[in-house]
Structure 1
Amino acid sequence: MFLRNFLLKSKCLVCNRSSSICICKGCSNQFQSIPEPHCQICKSIEIVDNNCQECLRRPPLFSDLIVLGIYSGLLKSLIYNYKYEGIKEYSKPFADLLAKKISYSFTFKFDYITSVPIHHEKLKSRGFNQADLLARDVAKNLRINYLEIFDRSKETKAQFGLSGIEREKNIKDAFGIITNKNIKDKNILIVDDIFTTGSTLQELSKLALDKGVNKLYLATIARSIK
């Protein structure tokens, strides 16, 4: 319904004002950028010499992280509506904004784009995987092949409210590699909705690097900031 209304009336999906894009600049400008200074890798604002304590304690296996903004305010509300209210139409405008930032940030082309998987029980209850839908739309925008690389074989409790160490333990051995394609020496972009501690993405990066992937990069709609 939201997308149909946009196509018919050319209005912003958020504020309903006249707009040639799904989320107008007035609304997207409300997304709060990660403040400087921040960690050059995970974008945390709790830093020591350009990096955060967490990245110094446990160096990330991924090479860089791209985010649209802080997980707060309007952006937080839109992600909630997309993820939990099932407003799938938000995927395309999120993907448009992410694709532009990815194109601006990287001078090379990724070999594949993939997403963070969810367990089949959660997929059944939610009806869709928000990261998968977003990643496919980003891939279309950038004209890069989407490849389903990972699966989630173990159902775990929600990560919300857990400490970094608890998150690591919670998702240990929860994922696997399912693709038959050769991903050795490839550069891969993993797409997700929110980056919190990076435990899940670190686990996926380890699996991929063990398969010979050259480098892993991450792109998320938002970054949670304490």
Structure 2
Amino acid sequence: MGRGIYKTSKYIINCILDIIYPSDNTCVVCKNYALSNNLCAICRKDIEIINKPFYIYHGGDKYKCYSIAEHTLIMRDIVMKLKYESNFTCGEILANYMKRLIIEKNIEIDVITFVPISRKTYNKRGYNQAKVIAKKLSEKLDIPCKQMIKKVKETKDQIGLTSWERWRNVEGCFKFVKSSNSNFENVLLIDDVVTTGATLINCSKTLKENGIKKVFILTGTKSVV
């Protein structure tokens, strides 16, 4: 009798909590109640936002880059959940922050593209996390998203490689997708995280070598560069 009352009471309480705090309002990181944007106030506060662009240097050239935040704490968890746990809500969060940054910095672009992954990686993971972010951002800005680069060579995972090894690892592995419209002048290149910049610079160079006038680099997070 007592156990039955306990189960009924628990069920009623859970129903009430579901109404007050629906699952859609759950923080993707800590699972606490989130008023909006799938992040609670505490987790949002712990994001180390980057408010200014920085440069990636290689071979005497420098490339301007934007990132939402440092690759630490909450934002690192968001990137990892998208990349390795198929949590596409995290892609939505990253796209929301990117939209805000693009508007605040008045970045004018014609098209959005993304860093590609190899066929082997795609078959294993089932999706490209950079493409997920780019597609969501495309919808929010009403700007087309196109795959303009493809990866034609299998590479090692960049994680754990030295800076020199990272550059050698991605050398010559990207090709321009000729079927994409090369009449675009200003392209936004999206990736989840920047570390040495080897991948992003190689992609950026591939775009510019095929007629793209200006490439804006934007990532979810900035790791050690």
The answer to whether TM tops 0.5 is: yes
Q: Deviations along 1:50-77, whole A, 9 cap, x unmatched?
A: xxxxx275323x4x32211111112212
**Does residue 1:77 correspond to 2:77, yes or no?**
yes
Is contact 1:184-1:214 (8 Å) kept? no
Aligned residues: 205
Shift of 1:130: 0.4
Confirm or deny that 1:23 pairs with 2:11. no
> Which residue number in structure 1 is paired with residue 211 of structure 2?
212
Q: Per-residue displacement from partner, 1:137-165 (whole Å, max 9, x unpaired)?
A: 11111111101101111101111122222
Match status 1:59 vs 2:61:
yes
Distance 1:56 1:157 in 2: 21
Instruction: Please report how far the alpha carbon of residue 83 of structure 1 lies from its aligned counterpart in structure 2 after TM superposition.
Output: 0.8
**C-alpha distance in 1, partners of 2:25/2:67?**
26
Alignment partner, residue 152 of structure 1: 151
Q: How does 1:41-60 map to 2 (within 5 A)?
A: 41-42=55-56, 55=57, 58-60=60-62
Structure 1, unaligned runs of 5 or more: 43-54
C-alpha displacement of 1:12: 3.1
Q: Which runs of 5+ in 2 are unaligned?
A: 1-18
Whole-angstrom CA distance in 2 between matches of 1:185 and 1:87: 31
> Distance between the aligned counterparts of 1:124 and 1:137, measured in 2?
21
Larger radius of gyration: 2
What amino acid sits opposite 2:61 in the alignment? Answer: P
Distance 1:39 1:102 in 2: 11
- Shift, 1:121, TM fit: 0.6
Residues in 1 aligned to 2:159 and 2:23: alpha-carbon distance in whole angstroms: 38
Contact 2:110 2:184 in 1 (8 A): no
User: Is 1:66–1:102's contact at 8 Å kept on the other side of the alignment?
Assistant: no
Task: Identify, as 1 or 2, the structure richer in helix.
Answer: 2
CA–CA separation in structure 2 for the residues paired with 1:217 and 1:108: 8
Per the TM alignment, residue 185 of structure 1 is displaced from its structure 2 partner at its CA by: 5.8
Render the CA deviation track for 1:155-196: whole Å, top value 9, x for unaligned.
011111222222111111111111423324610000000000
User: Does the Cα contact within 8 Å between 1:148 and 1:179 map onto a contact in 2?
Assistant: no
Task: Tell me the residue number matched to 1:119.
Answer: 118
In the alignment, which residue of structure 2 is the partner of 1:110?
A: 109
2:110 maps to a residue whose letter is D
Is it true that 1:198 corresponds to 2:200 in the alignment? no
Q: Residue 47 of structure 1 corresponds to which residue in structure 2?
A: none
AA aligned opposite 1:86: S
Q: What's the % identity of the aligned pairs?
A: 26
Q: CA RMSD in A?
A: 2.4
What is the aligned counterpart of 1:10 among 1, 4, 25? 25
Change (3 A) 1:40 1:77: closer
AA at the equivalent of 1:41: Y
Q: Which moved more, 1:74-83 or 1:118-127?
A: 74-83
SS at 1:84 equivalent: helix
Q: C-alpha distance in 2, partners of 1:23/1:93?
A: 8
Cα separation, 1, equivalents of 2:50 and 2:186: 25
